[in-house]
């Protein structure tokens, strides 16, 4: 279990960029609001600022929102391992530092994968779970068989296994490949340089590009078995899944398989977001905000 420094405080009523320490690593986080706690986890290639609109909205709705930066996404938070369970334990450490008996968890992309695994490992800690853009991993192998296009969509994962070359390719021409991923994954979103600039800045930090690719490389490394088991275990907490109709990373038919298999033992619902791509929380913030609040309110007693 990672240890969170007791010297770091989270009691910030207004939005700030702060840091907390887990073992020897320092992570930035955004925080805003007062009330029941919501922890929001970002994915790749992204950062905590992806939740800006949700933080503002949910804070106004009476929630305290905390959006930490995942391990390895800053040079001061580099780690030796990037198994899913390592990030699960990071979230657990935050929960313990905050003295939270329960909280709400929202995750996008890798944040969703971590969210599923956290819910499977510590179901008693969650009031509710929201997972954006990624179906439960128990259906993934079946999905690759039934949805040939998903094999093409996921080909980048194999490329990311190649050390040095994949780092160079991602960084070249001012992260042109990262911009290409954003356009491919969210084809209807005309994002600006301002939208992606902070992501580029983080990926430019020493060691960060290799660290972020480490999440993908640890999918196949020795010691992955606990992470695999947690990632495919059935979910015992109320879970809402949001999927973008035009997501170029995760084919919408993968969520049709999820709807058929339903690896959920508690309340569950799926929303397909018309016209949205992978980064739906950035693209259609208003709709996503409302859906998230409805789910949170349903399982929160103010």
pLDDT of residue 9: 40
pLDDT of 270-288, one tens digit each? 999 999 999 999 999 999 9
pLDDT of residue 10: 36
pLDDT of 48-100, one tens digit each? 999 999 999 999 999 999 999 999 999 999 999 999 999 999 999 999 988 99
250 burial (CB, 10 Å; 0-12 / 13-18 / 19+) is: buried
- Residue indicated by tokens 């007062």: 34
List Cα–Cα distances, 178 to 30, 106, 170, 199, 270, in angstroms. 23, 23, 6, 9, 28
- Count structural domains, the chain: 1
Report yes or no on 9 lying in a domain. Answer: no
Categorize the per-residue pLDDT at 302 as very low, low, confident or very high, splitting at 50, 70 and 90: low
pTM here is 0.94
Rounded CA-CA distance 298/284 in Å is: 22
Report yes or no on 3 lying in a domain. Answer: no
Report yes or no on 178 lying in a domain. Answer: yes
pLDDT of 183-210, one tens digit each? 999 999 999 999 999 999 999 999 999 9
- Structural domain boundaries enclosing 220: 16-298
Report yes or no on 96 lying in a domain. Answer: yes
pLDDT of 122-159, one tens digit each? 999 999 999 999 999 999 999 999 999 999 999 999 99
pLDDT of 3-27, one tens digit each? 443 333 433 333 445 888 899 999 9
Give phi and psi for 164, each to the nearest 5: 70, -55
Report yes or no on 11 lying in a domain. Answer: no
pLDDT of residue 13: 32
Q: What CATH number does residue 75 fall under? A: 3.40.50.1820
List 264's β-bridge partners, or say none.
Answer: 235
Report yes or no on 224 lying in a domain. Answer: yes
Contact 235, 121 (CB under 8 A): no
């Amino acid at each position: 279990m990672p240890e969170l420094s007791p010297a770091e405080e989270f009691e910030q009523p207004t939005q700030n960029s702060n840091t907390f320490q887990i073992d020897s690593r320092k992570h930035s986080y955004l925080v805003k609001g007062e009330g029941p706690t919501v922890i929001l986890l970002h994915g790749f290639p992204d950062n905590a600022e992806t939740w800006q609109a949700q933080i503002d909205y949910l804070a106004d709705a009476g929630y305290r929102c905390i959006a930490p930066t995942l391990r390895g996404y800053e040079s001061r938070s580099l780690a030796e391992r990037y198994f899913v369970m390592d990030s699960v334990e990071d979230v657990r450490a935050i929960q313990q530092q905050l003295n939270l008996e329960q909280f709400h968890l929202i995750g996008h992309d890798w944040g969703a994968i971590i969210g599923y695994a956290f819910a499977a490992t510590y179901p008693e800690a969650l009031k509710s779970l929201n997972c954006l853009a990624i179906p439960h991993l128990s259906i993934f192998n079946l999905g690759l068989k039934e949805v040939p296009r998903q094999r093409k969509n996921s080909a980048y994962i194999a490329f990311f296994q190649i050390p040095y070359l994949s780092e160079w390719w991602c960084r070249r021409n001012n992260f042109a490949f990262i911009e290409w991923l954003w356009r491919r994954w969210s084809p209807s979103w005309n994002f600006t340089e301002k939208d992606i600039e902070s992501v580029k800045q983080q990926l430019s930090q020493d060691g960060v590009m290799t660290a972020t690719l480490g999440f993908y490389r640890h999918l196949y490394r020795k010691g992955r078995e606990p992470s695999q088991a947690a990632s495919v275990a059935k979910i015992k907490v109320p879970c809402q899944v949001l999927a973008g109709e035009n997501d170029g990373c995760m084919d919408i038919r993968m969520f049709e398989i999820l709807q058929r298999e339903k690896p959920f033992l508690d309340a569950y619902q799926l929303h397909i977001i018309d016209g949205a791509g992978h980064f739906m929380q950035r693209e259609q913030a208003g709709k996503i905000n409302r859906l998230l609040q409805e789910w949170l309110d349903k399982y929160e007693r103010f």
